[in-house]
Amino acid sequence: MLATSTRPPTVEEVKKLTITDLAIASGLADSLRDRLREFVQIDPFTQGVADPFGEKDDCTYSVVLDRENPNRVVAIIVNKKDSMPQLPWSAILGERLAKVSMEKSDARELKHELAPKEWGNFYPYRRAGKVAGYFMFAFQICGQR
């Protein structure tokens, strides 16, 4: 059953996810990445890329959730505010996924719960050759803290 209203999960809700939930989120993230590649170029490596939560606040933060269980985080998206026009999110997400905006501090806390290290968690993505933002996918999650 799909959730009618969606909000980002709390860290406590994420801690209660099962290994099955993480596996489902990982599969959904892999499909999401394939659909995103139709619209953007995703860099193949995260190595050497600091997590985009620096002092300068020139980004917007969102989380992609599974509507069947909104506590399943499929991806965290960080977009540069000066990036090109919006992506066609309804086409990318389909019926199963939802994209929800969140505050930088909440996104950082959620990311830290899912991927505690501070470097190499986000793939840069490009539009017209210019870095427009960053993706962190559920298939990168090794477990919960």
Per-residue pLDDT of 84-117, as tens digits, reads: 678 899 999 999 999 999 999 999 999 988 888 8
pLDDT at 4 over 60: no
Q: Order of strands across the sheet with 130-137? A: 41-42, 123-127, 130-137, 69-80, 59-66, 97-102
**Amino acid identity of 39?**
F
Supply the pLDDT for residue 143.
53
Looking at residues 116-140, what average pLDDT do you find? 88
Q: What is the distance between the alpha carbons of residues 135 and 91, in angstroms, rounded to a whole number?
A: 17
pLDDT at 2 over 80: no
Total-model pTM:
0.89
**Amino acid identity of 51?**
D
| Residue 5 or 30, more confident | 30
pLDDT band for 40, please (50, 70, 90 cuts). Answer: very high
Best-predicted range by mean pLDDT (44-48, 54-58, 65-69): 65-69
Could you tell me the residue ranges of all domains in the chain?
A: 11-140
